[in-house]
Structure 1
């Protein structure tokens, strides 16, 4: 396959050792853990009739100069006023990705301002953001078509309908945390995974889809879990914990099947079952490059993904301003090594309960008990975030409400 000339071809990778070394350099950048970022995604609906499809042209007009090039190749793709980038996902979901901030207070304030700007843009077009991690009203339907998304759909279709559900109907909340100093990375990596099931359970919002109850607390996570385990399963778990996160991630990435192989035509569908390790061994007509490897890891979707920082991908979208609560909880749990250690110790016994968290939420007793403990740890660490008094009090009350819900869940 010939690479499109506008694609950066990078350096040819000669073998697995070169690929592993490149991944270690780019995926775990160590240093003081000072920055926090967030990515917020929502389904988008007609304000008068949430069941009505919203087409790409309506989204393009609403977003104007902030429209991503996937919708309008001529758009400047301007950031929002406080620096958030706007993207549109395959089903028309809108996402904003913030720059990392050195204080949680600054992150929350800037993100709320950009979110207000986004809401105003959509409001002029009679559009509103959804309130949950799943499209409550409409069945899966493509809105944005690109070679990447077509290849993604084709590969996911080999495993059933869950891929289309994920692509076109789900909305998530991602929190981005520094990997930390070299001696902290292992603990932060393990804790980021371990707290996932109890926090997924506590913040599950995706129980309805296309006008009906799904039987899941988080049908969004259920869709992810059903797609392709080699691409979506957690990298870390207590039973297969690797003391070297970079080595574990490299093994995961190289063993994962290709989702697409970029070229200069419209069809990027890869041969079935070919992994990146197979590509390194000569399975495709040309050898892979560092750019191919970086693109490949962008097609892997575990609950925690290293991108130089740790991207925590397991939370459902939250209604209204509630997105600030899980951001504050996670920032508090990772604010100092002692709290992170205690969070890991509390959550390790339930670290494999992803399926139970998606299915039952806080109705699962071990998850509810652990969530309550994590909320206690977050409340104790909250003053260390340095939030303004009003924001601190508001966040403290919100976490206490979540803790009370967890208490009710495990009785």
Structure 2
């Protein structure tokens, strides 16, 4: 999850709220790719999740990365809670999952090199202390009580609030992992088209990357349990956002939506101040109960935007949030999928033509059925396997048109990063299907086999 935002000064007029996002508009030559991925850590001998502190712990992994690979520490309340280096950061999810938030990079070749380097570093430290890491959408066996809450003020506040507004918030915090990509836009109109395509096609990403068919040691009847968890979290800040498809949607419409999302906190002088359920509209008037008489800074608004969790969201870029965490090669496939769809205008137009006639009910049903059936989902005559095949074809054309070479020019473009998805389309099986096949065959129902066979 996001780290506290900084800078910007006081909010003196309403237009600053939309301008913060509009300031993200960039010429195409400056568009970048930021890939984020989370993975669960565990002790190899017990197969239990890592505590925060101790010989085999999250703190030990972070300390090892700091001391061995030159990452700069990020601390809160005397605790090591993250690392930074070269525009990237390593942070902790609430239940101890380790996240790489990658630097903004020009090509998928570069972002994949970054992922590979990070996982190699993590593995080198983890192997020394008897720790493993695994990429899945949901913790396969561990209970809520086995997943420790990390020592971050933001998480303590969120944990208190989650059960008041839904049934799965604390499960999301502790026992789910994702891979996502952050992408740029050139103008307000470009943002609108990209966000609409992003929301409409998140179910395709959910289906292709579905990788959480187990929960609490059992088959859960969903290909993506992570996606199911997000549907039961908090209706005020999640979902498919039908208003994005309304005529006239733009930055100001997002501002009005965000202002109606209840607050979590205000960050001041290294401390998280409890503003749970309070109104940012009241904050703008100096009437926030948590800070009476004070008005917000632009950094408070930027922080608030990080507490909104729909399937795709706007900050100064667009975040694609629909995919399960997964195996190594799919961590590069996710940015390839979305870059191919959105960074070439012909591909973006083709993707929009594919979805522009869908209504809100169709989009929502696709979201639900993707989490249950993966590529086998079908909604109102739309077969997910056929839809995914067409979408990946558009992405492939988009990447070919970008023609960004790698390996010193030996690789002509980025299309090969879609190979993992093309393999799924050929076989009809996504990672969740492969896991279920193993569970019912050579694992003989022994879910503990997942760690040895699927860890990084």
TM category, shorter: 0.7 to 0.9
- Residue 42 of structure 1: which of 39, 42, 45 is its match? 39
- Where does residue 3 of structure 1 map in the other structure? none
1:396: how far off?
5.1
Alignment of 1:119-134 (within 5 A): 119-134=123-138
Computed over aligned residues only, the root mean square deviation of the Cα atoms, in angstroms, reads 3.0
State how far apart, in whole Å, the 1-side matches of 2:161 and 2:321 are: 21
- Residue 336 of structure 2: which of 328, 340, 356 is its match? 328
- Residue 219 of structure 2: which of 198, 213, 217 is its match? 213
- Where does residue 232 of structure 1 map in the other structure? 238
Alignment of 1:3-402 (within 5 A): 11-13=9-11, 17-18=14-15, 20-26=17-23, 28-32=24-28, 34-50=31-47, 52-57=48-53, 58-64=57-63, 65=66, 66=71, 69-70=74-75, 73=78, 78-79=83-84, 84-140=88-144, 141-235=147-241, 240-262=245-267, 268-270=273-275, 272=277, 274-281=278-285, 282-284=287-289, 285-286=292-293, 287-348=295-356, 349=358, 350-352=362-364, 353-365=366-378, 366=382, 367-383=384-400, 384-388=402-406, 394-395=416-417, 397-402=419-424
1:185: how far off?
2.5
Tell me if the contact between 1:200 and 1:314 (Cα under 8 Å) persists in the aligned partners: yes
State how far apart, in whole Å, the 2-side matches of 1:315 and 1:62 are: 25
Gaps of 5+ in 2: 434-456
State how far apart, in whole Å, the 1-side matches of 2:333 and 2:272 are: 41
CA 1:241–1:48: 2 relative to 1, 3 Å = farther
State how far apart, in whole Å, the 2-side matches of 1:133 and 1:204 are: 7
Gaps of 5+ in 1: 1-5
CA 1:22–1:129: 2 relative to 1, 3 Å = same
| Helix, strand or coil at the partner of 1:173 | strand
CA 1:157–1:101: 2 relative to 1, 3 Å = same
Tell me if the contact between 2:336 and 2:415 (Cα under 8 Å) persists in the aligned partners: no
| Helix, strand or coil at the partner of 2:120 | helix
| Helix, strand or coil at the partner of 1:291 | helix
Give CA deviations for 1:220-279 in whole Å, capped at 9, x if unaligned: 1222221111111234567x435333122111110101112345797733254x321233
- The worse-fitting range, judged by mean Cα deviation, of 260-269 and 379-388 is 260-269
- The worse-fitting range, judged by mean Cα deviation, of 177-186 and 328-337 is 177-186
1:207: how far off?
1.7
CA 1:385–1:329: 2 relative to 1, 3 Å = farther
State how far apart, in whole Å, the 1-side matches of 2:316 and 2:116 are: 25
Give CA deviations for 1:281-325 in whole Å, capped at 9, x if unaligned: 424313333222121112111221222111111111011322112
In the superposition, the TM-score normalised over structure 2's length comes to 0.78
State how many pairs are aligned. Answer: 398
Tell me if the contact between 2:37 and 2:178 (Cα under 8 Å) persists in the aligned partners: yes
CA 1:72–1:290: 2 relative to 1, 3 Å = closer
CA 1:18–1:205: 2 relative to 1, 3 Å = same
Choose between structure 1 and 2: higher strand proportion.
2
